[in-house]
Each structure stands twice: as structure tokens, then as C-alpha cells.
Amino acid sequence: MNYYAIDRLGRVLNDTMADYNHVNNGYDEVFGDYQFYMKEMISYMKEMIPSMIKDYMAPSTSSNVQGGPGNQFSCEGYGPTTTQRCPFWWRDLLGADTFTMTYKLVNSTGFHDTLQSMYGLNASWVTFGDRTVKSQPNSHCIGSRNRDDCIVVDCDYKYVNEPQPASNINLPSPEDTISKSLPALNTLQNTILARQLDLYYGIWNGSSADLIQSASMPSSWPAKQ
């Protein structure tokens, strides 16, 4: 039974490789169209990423005390040194004219996974850097409809190691992604064939169930791409 299972995995991988080679024969002819589409997509993403990160890292407000979902950090700063989960409660910062806020990522996996699921942003599109704010509307502007209440006041806000858009936004070519995997996939084909022969001649000394399990994922993964 295990011989036929490993044989089936080998066939799945071989069929996938044959399909890829068939499609790849005409890929270069339409690669120009793909490049044009990707340039348009990158241009769009560069415009949207700053607002997405801003929304993801939204500060605490009276209507949303917890702030954005990306606040999976510890924060240090504001007046006497304190450390707490971001964001600082909005009342704590109300009226402050100077502070330094340092972000320390404590849940990298959760931060990037949620960013990917909510906004479709790849981890490589986000970096961490510093930002300084020297002026902003005063606190009377918050929730006010009277523009006379709003004046620009001087401040000195420093944000250290906060999430920011990366300078380079790249979308990889599917051809490049698969081509880089080809050497490993070819090795996997040879490994599966060798283990088939071991099972057939009864010279495999390990667990055949573990063999099937370990070969299953890498054999089926290319077919899902």
C-alpha cells in the first residue's frame, strides 16, 4: 500500500512539472503584458500602503481606545519613562507638546500575519523607522465643527522604530518564483523514485508512514501554485 502511495505522490509531482514546462514555453511571449500589469499594481500599492499602515497603526481615540489592530508592540516614552502596550491611551497624550515614543515589536508573527490578512501587505513592504512631528492642530480640533477652534500649535513628537512603507515595493514574477524552486523539485523527484525502489525491494528500514507524510507536502505544494 505504501509503495502505491509514494508512487502516487511521484506522479502528482511529475504531472505538475510537465504542466509547468508546457506553460513556460509560451510565457516569455506574454511577459511584457505581465510586467506592464505589475508596474501598474506597484504604483497603486505605493499610493495605498501609507494609508493602510496608518489605519493599521491608528492611535487611541475617545471613540476607539484600543487603536488600530497593528498595535502589537510595547511602547516606551512620554514624560517619565514608562513601558506599556501600544497605543498610549489618548487621554495620556492629550495636551502634550513633546514626547518620544519608541516602538518595540513583541509579536512579529501576529503583526505581519494580521497585516497580510487584513490589507494584503507583504512583510517585505513594511519597514521600521523614525518620524518627527513639529506642528499639529490643537486638541480643540478633535470632534469640533467650529474651525475657529482649530489652530496649529508647535510640538516636538518623535516616533522611533514605527512601521513605515518600505522604499522598494517588488512583486516577483511567477516564473522566477518557480524557476528558483526547480533544482529542489528535481532532487525531490529523484528522492521519491529512490524511495519507491527501496519499498519495492523491501530494503527501506525506516517508517514507511513517516516517509509518505514527509513527501506528501512538498510533492503536492507545486500543484497548488
Q: Which of 28-32, 101-105, 187-191 has the lowest mean pLDDT?
A: 28-32
CB count within 10 Å of CB 176 equals 9
Calculate mean pLDDT across residues 62-70.
87
Angstrom CA distances, 117 to 45, 93, 105, 113, stand at 16, 30, 18, 6
Angle at 166 (CA atoms; ends 56, 131), nearest 5 degrees: 70
Assess contact for 199 and 83: CB atoms under 8 A.
no
d(CA 150, CA 139): 8
d(CA 143, CA 155): 20
Residue 107: is its pLDDT beyond 70? yes
Q: Which of 71-80, 114-123, 144-153, 208-217 has the lowest mean pLDDT?
A: 144-153
**Domain extents for the chain?**
2-36+172-224, 65-165
This prediction has a pTM of 0.57
Q: What is the tens place of the pLDDT at every residue in 50-62?
A: 999 999 999 888 8
Q: What is the tens place of the pLDDT at every residue in 30-52?
A: 556 666 776 777 777 788 889 99
Element spanning 137, H or E: strand 126-137
Share of the chain above pLDDT 70, in %: 67
